[in-house]
Chains A and B, each alone.
Chain A
Amino acid sequence: MISQLPITTTADMTEFFQLLLSGMATGSIYALAALGFTLLWQASGTINFAQGEFVMLPAFMMLIGMNHGLNLAMSFALSCLMSILVLGWAFKRGLVDPLFKFGMMPIVVATIGLSIAMRNGVRGGYSSSPQPFPNLFPDTLFHIGEVTVSATDIGTFVLALLLVLVTQMFLSKTITGRAMQAVAQNTESASVLGIDVPKMIFYTFAINALLACAAALLVTPTYLAKFDMGASLGTKAFFAAIIGGFNNTRGALLGGLIVGVSENLASSYVSAEYKDAVALIVFMIVILFKPQGLLGTKEERKV
């Protein structure tokens, strides 16, 4: 007698690959936001609770630029500059620098306050309804064998991956990048070696602002520009950063992809209603068994 094995048809495989690919596109955006999160943490011990809002604000900056007749590229360039100024420099000088000496929690609480202020400032000052946003990529669909993928998914994934890799190359290959890493690892020795520590920390904030700006460009066409679009994005980015390992920049990429893919697979195979719980479950498993994250190294606890 032949037992009834579950037969994996090609249609099942096709669906699986489609889900995998679109999950990777979402995951790469999580990775962008998570990378900024990790960089800030390493360089200055800042946990930025407003990370999602740091993606939301550039989206609205670009919208405002386009409302004034600029094209997408120009308003993106302008938003990048504005982001470096507001989300990089002003954020560091106004909030992180004065609170740094009090330790981690006051910065966390202040960035919670900041996220509420940013969200509601945009809600009151711009609009409370979702705004359409032009797509960077054409609407075409590609057929690779049986699998259908949209240009948006591929473009998002490739571009986000490229940005993450370029950031990592910058950190590990250039002198400035290595100086930034030195500051992240040991601030005192770095300053003894003649590295301009405050400048390097500022660079980290600037890179975080730029990554957020890029994430805004990639995520807003699908999420739509809305004042509260950052809420779930920020949480997912944090989960991704922890899952991958908080003190490792490669961890952000791994964590982002894990969260994006598992979310997409679970929403289709398990339950769409509980999609938002997937990142949480992975996160809980990771912090219970490997609190330093999948790629992280252990940090010593001080008395």
Chain B
Amino acid sequence: MSNNFLNRLYQISLLVGLVLLFVLPGQMKSHGIYLFTYWLIYVLAAMGLNLTVGYAGQKSLGHAAFLGIGAYTVTLFMKAGLSFWLGLPVAALICFFMGLVLGFPALRVQAIYLAFATLGFNTAIWLVMRNEEWLTGGTFGINNVPRPELFGYSLSGNLNYYYLVLGITIIMSLLLLGILRSPWGKAFTALRDNPIRAESLGIDIKGYTLLSFAIGAAYAGVAGALLACLVQFVDPAPFNVENSIMMYLMVVVGGPGYFLGPLLGAAVGVILPEWLRFAQAWYLFIFGTMVVLLMIWLPDGLLSLPDLIRDKKRAKLAAEQRLNASTKVQAQENKA
């Protein structure tokens, strides 16, 4: 009964959340709308990383590189006079193939080695963005990135652009949900839980490892493209290793392998620091401390809390039942 109740509560809060996402920004000032858009873009990026890290169990610390590749691709397309709607899928495709390439080290090394290999990949991409001025504008970046149009309808207003990002985020999350419910999704989690057993069950673990990187990267590519048009300026700074680590923490804090984890993780990792900008050093100090405490008390992330409570309840119930049964048996024995 209580399980049913929890499920109902979950569904209702999901619905309320969705309605709020549609209605709330309309009531806000432009900075609030900007923050919400920024948050959704990081939700999108973190969703991709959640697939790689949370579902498939590949420790990737190079996600910001894909964000950057997406941002620069769409910027260069639009600066060349081409449409955003051409640049967006190309950005996703390029990231998909770069993700495949990044997946190859994962076939040889795991865990912490992989984390540092991806971190190194991020550094390499970042150095290219910083040093190849002819392409990326170097540290000066590229100014005046335009906002896209849709069917001749301009999306340059903050609210209009927000709805575009919201629409794309919803489509992409439904797509991810579809992937996770398909046999692919099961294969990813099998890969995470026990790669050797998965292989012995006939799952092509090489293929799925590469695929988990590639899909995750494509999500970051789309997010990066949206980010460039939101900020209307790209420079290498947001695509460094620190941001990759931050995105990894977003996934871990929200709850790796929980579908809605990135929503929460990105809120803690993006909205709060942006909001508390005046005290950024201290916010990050508290954030770092919180990550440490979370690992000690709730190593599966914030969203694992309901599961933890349910498990505890179940264990308590089972213990009670055992106790009842044993007293009953004892009583019968006493009678006999």
Q: Which A residues form the contact surface with B (CB < 8 A)?
A: 47, 95, 98-99, 102, 104-110, 112-121, 123-124, 128, 231, 235, 238-239, 242, 273-274, 276-277, 279-280, 283-284, 287-288, 291, 303
Q: Annotate B181-218 by CB proximity to A: 1 below 8 A, 0 otherwise.
A: 00000000000001011000000000000000000000
User: Is there contact, CB below 8 Å, between A235 and B119?
Assistant: yes
- B299 CB-CB contact with A under 8 Å: yes
Minimum Cβ distance to chain B for residue A296 (Å): 12
Which of A115, A124, A291, A303 is the one whose CB lies under 8 Å from B282?
Answer: A124
User: Is there contact, CB below 8 Å, between B288 and A280?
Assistant: no
B289: A residues at CB distance < 8 A: 113, 117
A47: B residues at CB distance < 8 A: 112
A284: B residues at CB distance < 8 A: 105, 117, 120
Chain B residue with minimal CB distance to A272? B131
- B78 CB-CB contact with A under 8 Å: no
User: Is there contact, CB below 8 Å, between B290 and A287?
Assistant: no
Q: How far is the CA of A128 from the CA of B288 in the complex (A)?
A: 17
- B285 CB-CB contact with A under 8 Å: yes
A235-B123, A280-B121 are known contacts; what are 15 more A-B pairs with Cβ within 8 Å?
Answer: A47-B112, A99-B299, A104-B111, A107-B295, A109-B291, A116-B291, A117-B286, A117-B288, A117-B291, A124-B279, A274-B127, A277-B127, A284-B120, A287-B105, A303-B196
Minimum Cβ distance to chain B for residue A284 (Å): 7
Q: How far is the CA of A113 from the CA of B290 in the complex (A)?
A: 8
A98: B residues at CB distance < 8 A: 296
Nearest 7 pairs of A and B residues by beta carbon: A113-B291, A117-B288, A116-B288, A124-B281, A280-B120, A120-B284, A110-B295
Q: Annotate B91-112 by CB proximity to A: 1 below 8 A, 0 otherwise.
A: 0000000000000010011011
Q: A277-B127, A287-B109, A287-B113 are in contact. Are A118 and B120 (CB under 8 A)?
A: no
- B226 CB-CB contact with A under 8 Å: no
User: Is there contact, CB below 8 Å, between A291 and B127?
Assistant: no
User: Is there contact, CB below 8 Å, between B119 and A113?
Assistant: no
User: Is there contact, CB below 8 Å, between B291 and A112?
Assistant: yes
Chain A residue with minimal CB distance to B116? A238
A116: B residues at CB distance < 8 A: 284-285, 287-288, 291
B105: A residues at CB distance < 8 A: 284, 287-288
The DSSP consensus for interface residues of chain B is: helix
Q: How far is the CA of A109 from the CA of B59 in the complex (A)?
A: 11
Minimum Cβ distance to chain B for residue A271 (Å): 8
User: Is there contact, CB below 8 Å, between B288 and A291?
Assistant: no
User: Is there contact, CB below 8 Å, between B113 and A242?
Assistant: yes
Interface residue count on the B side (C-beta < 8 Å)? 45
User: Is there contact, CB below 8 Å, between A291 and B109?
Assistant: yes
Which of A105, A238, A239, A274 is the one whose CB lies under 8 Å from B131?
Answer: A274
User: Is there contact, CB below 8 Å, between B282 and A273?
Assistant: no
- B115 CB-CB contact with A under 8 Å: yes
Q: A102-B299, A284-B105 are in contact. Are A113 and B120 (CB under 8 A)?
A: no
Minimum Cβ distance to chain B for residue A40 (Å): 12
A106: B residues at CB distance < 8 A: 295, 299
User: Is there contact, CB below 8 Å, between A112 and B249?
Assistant: yes
B170: A residues at CB distance < 8 A: none
User: Is there contact, CB below 8 Å, between B115 and A287?
Assistant: no
User: Is there contact, CB below 8 Å, between B296 and A283?
Assistant: no
User: Is there contact, CB below 8 Å, between B296 and A99?
Assistant: yes
Q: A273-B131, A287-B105, A287-B117 are in contact. Are A110 and B292 (CB under 8 A)?
A: yes
Q: How far is the CA of A120 from the CA of B283 in the complex (A)?
A: 8
A291: B residues at CB distance < 8 A: 108-109, 113
B123: A residues at CB distance < 8 A: 235, 276-277, 280
B245: A residues at CB distance < 8 A: 112
B196: A residues at CB distance < 8 A: 303
Q: How far is the CA of A231 from the CA of B115 in the complex (A)?
A: 15
A277: B residues at CB distance < 8 A: 123-124, 127
A95: B residues at CB distance < 8 A: 292, 296
User: Is there contact, CB below 8 Å, between A283 and B116?
Assistant: yes
- B41 CB-CB contact with A under 8 Å: no
B120: A residues at CB distance < 8 A: 239, 279-280, 283-284
- B65 CB-CB contact with A under 8 Å: no
